[in-house]
A = this chain, B = another copy of it.
Amino acid sequence: MPEKPSAVILLSGGLDSTTVLAIATSEGYACNCLSFDYGQKQTVELAKAAKIAAIYGVERHLILRLDLDRIGGSALTADIAVPKNGNPDRQGTIPITYVPARNAILLAHAVAWAEVLGAWDIFIGVNAVDYSGYPDCRPEFLAAFAHMANLGTRAGISGAARFSIKAPLMHLSKAEIITKGISLGVDYSLTHSCYDPQGTKACGHCDACILRRNGFVAAGVADPTDYL
């Protein structure tokens, strides 16, 4: 039997990235999960990520420290209130929860680790709901990132293969993501989405909670989230 190909999976511990891990696992990848303690308010997601990685029996799970809170500029990393009860259908405006260059920073680490592991495929859980608001969730950004990574790494210029940034949720709504995850056996009670949790409880009113809650309703699936 041929060896499984290795992949690096960006795993925040959220609904989307956990679904991506389930997809990559179902596609036969040996999964190496990468999470970041980047100064986010919702560090509770890291314990969720560790538990999820353990349940999926991944090859490796690395949690790296970044100082994005010292750069700031976002409601997730600076002393800026997380908006509540807004309309998360952003229609082209970028929410204050945008973290400057976050996906470029996270993906660059993923490429570095992939290079060390001999992996070529990097999975990220961005999707249509996100990319209506966040510039670093759009397909054109991911294509430009892959091009840059293939020019700026030893592996990329080796000619052996090309780094590929895989975003299997890109064109799915939240409800479609949940339906896909359920079909793969994902236990969403393990996941965390809230931007502004109190302890392990979700606030229920930030954009992430609203999108998650609406997604479960639209998918016709009971929402296992522990809201305040």
Contacts and interface: CB of A to CB of B under 8 A. Distances in A.
Interface bracket on A:
35 or more
Interface of A: 62, 64-68, 70-73, 94, 98-105, 108-109, 111-113, 115-116, 135-136, 138, 140-141, 144-145, 147-149, 151-157
19 contacts: A62-B71, A65-B65, A72-B116, A73-B115, A94-B154, A98-B154, A99-B112, A100-B113, A100-B115, A101-B112, A101-B152, A104-B104, A135-B152, A135-B157, A136-B153, A140-B151, A141-B152, A144-B152, A145-B148
A100 B153 contact: yes
A32 to B, nearest CB: 11
Given A72-B116, A141-B148, A148-B148, A101 B111 contact: yes
A70 B66 contact: no
A115 B101 contact: yes
A108 to B, nearest CB: 4
Nearest to A102: B112
A72 B141 CA distance: 27
From DSSP, what is the main secondary structure of chain A's interface residues? helix
Contacts of A109: 71, 101, 105
- 3 nearest interchain CB pairs? A101-B112, A73-B116, A100-B112
Given A141-B151, A144-B151, 19 more contacts: A62-B71, A65-B67, A71-B116, A98-B154, A100-B112, A100-B113, A100-B154, A100-B155, A101-B112, A101-B149, A104-B149, A105-B108, A108-B108, A135-B151, A135-B153, A140-B151, A144-B147, A144-B148, A144-B152
A105 B148 CA distance: 12
Nearest to A34: B71
A7 to B, nearest CB: 16
A63 to B, nearest CB: 9
B100 A111 contact: yes
A67 B99 CA distance: 20
